[in-house]
A and B are shown apart, each in its own frame.
Chain A
Amino acid sequence: MAATVYINRYYGAGPSTRDAASGNVRFSTSDNDYTTETANPIPIPPSGTNYSYWVCTALYANTSPTGTINNVKWYMDGTNGWTGVTMEVGTSDTYTQATGTAGTTGDELTNTNYTGGTLTPTDPSADSAFGYTSGSPLSVTGSISNPDTGIITDYVIIQLSVGTGASAGTLGTESATWSYDET
């Protein structure tokens, strides 16, 4: 039988987890697991860039595959529908709780700030997330085989960068996709 697999969001010091497909991941300037809440929005800066707190996600097997799950990919639809807002992505085999100044800005997603482990790439480039598409996806390290359950992959860490050209208000939804092979 096929495994039961979820996209988990990881947050807090624990970390705590939630099935990210059970509700949106809403970016904010806090490490709270917001799905619809509008508290701690990301202020549009008068100059420079403000950041959301970064968001850690990973693929998780609640039940074991009959054989193996491998070949995990992550991608967006290739089109950033937001104005003045970009999204960066990196991976790491270690969880690091998001940091920043709540209500103002998150710390930028860099290897220096991601203190708990090594971030790949060490300094994710602006709008790197939308560069990954189904035709050119991000390869995510990790696999799991019977009879194991639990976290399958490295963490995929995403962050919004808000520039001066952004518009105030709630942004539309963008979808990230995880893909994996199973035997």
Chain B
Amino acid sequence: MTSPHTVFWEAVLDNGRVQRETEGVRYADIDRMHMKSFRLISAGTIVAEVFASHGRKGSVLCYRRRTSLTHDGTRKIVFILGFVPLGPVYVVDPENEEVLSFDQWGQDGWYMPEPIPEEHEHFTFTSKGHTIDSIVKAVLPH
């Protein structure tokens, strides 16, 4: 089991440089033009990683830390990452060591993120679409 509080993102650029959330880089400031992959890290281990497909229209990087907060004090955190609108998009649940992928928002109660200004391409994710040139690697610790 991995605590979601120890999970942070990294963007690996095609020149080998790495932009890290832990170094104060904002998600909005990721160099998307030169991003090779985007990954979640916990204690030096890759939790999940998606690889960019440059030049493919409809592949806007999408990352969200989704928190569900209940009145009884329960706090559940999952991570959404992938590319929209064509996909693939994954939900990473570090606590339960699960990676979910889905064909359509609304499936199993997962609703679509709202775009922020930096994700200026309109994203309307309806289908997983063409995933041949994108690979997801999930290495959840056991």
A residues neighboring B (CB under 8 Å): 2, 5-7, 20-22, 24-25, 59, 66-68, 70-71, 73, 133-135, 137, 146, 173, 175-183
B15 at the A interface (CB under 8 A): no
A-B contact pairs, 11 of them (CB 8 A): A21-B73, A22-B73, A66-B26, A67-B28, A70-B116, A71-B114, A175-B70, A176-B70, A181-B65, A183-B26, A183-B63
Q: In the complex where A177-B68, A179-B69 touch, is A70 in contact with B114 (Cβ < 8 A)?
A: yes
Contacts across chains A and B counted by CB atoms under 8 Å? 79
CB-CB < 8 A to B55: which residues of A? none
Contact B114 A181 (CB under 8 A): yes
**Which 4 residue pairs spanning A and B have beta carbons closest together?**
A134-B109, A183-B27, A181-B64, A21-B73
CB-CB < 8 A to A7: which residues of B? 69, 71
B54 at the A interface (CB under 8 A): no
Q: In the complex where A73-B111, A179-B66 touch, is A67 in contact with B116 (Cβ < 8 A)?
A: yes
Question: What is the chain A residue whose CB lies nearest that of B22?
Answer: A1
Contact B66 A175 (CB under 8 A): no
B21 at the A interface (CB under 8 A): yes
Contact A183 B64 (CB under 8 A): yes
